[in-house]
Amino acid sequence: MDSGRSIANAVQARLLYDFDGDGQVDRTTTFGYFPTNDVSGFENYSSAAVSKRSEGYGWRSFENGSVTLELWSALGTAPATVSEDSKLEVPLE
């Protein structure tokens, strides 16, 4: 994530799990917001650095399932950028 030289910005993330591919969300994990610094350059949003809350079913096997990542601005009004080289590592709690 990068908010350039803007201050008081924070990005939040949510993972939506559809274990069986039926189009219904079976589990949701919402991570606490990640405050970006005021120095230009990308920072790593890591689930280890923020709190999380999960709702829905416990873990199941994925059978034609999917994971959707949602990102939004939790604090601040400056735009945040995600690096094109970003990698999503799905936490298996």
Query: Given pLDDT bands bounded at 50, 70 and 90, which one contains residue 19?
Result: very high
Residue 83 lies in a domain: no
* 51 contacts: CB under 8 Å, gap ≥ 6: 31, 32
The tokens describing 60, both together, are: 């199941």
Residue 39 lies in a domain: yes
Tens digit of pLDDT for each residue in 28-40? 999 888 888 888 8
Tens digit of pLDDT for each residue in 42-64? 888 776 767 788 999 888 888 99
Residue 84 lies in a domain: no
Show the domain range for 22.
Answer: 10-75
Residue 14 lies in a domain: yes
Pair 20, 9: CB distance under 8 Å: no
Q: Which contiguous run of DSSP H or E holds residue 58?
A: none
Please state the pTM of the whole predicted model: 0.80
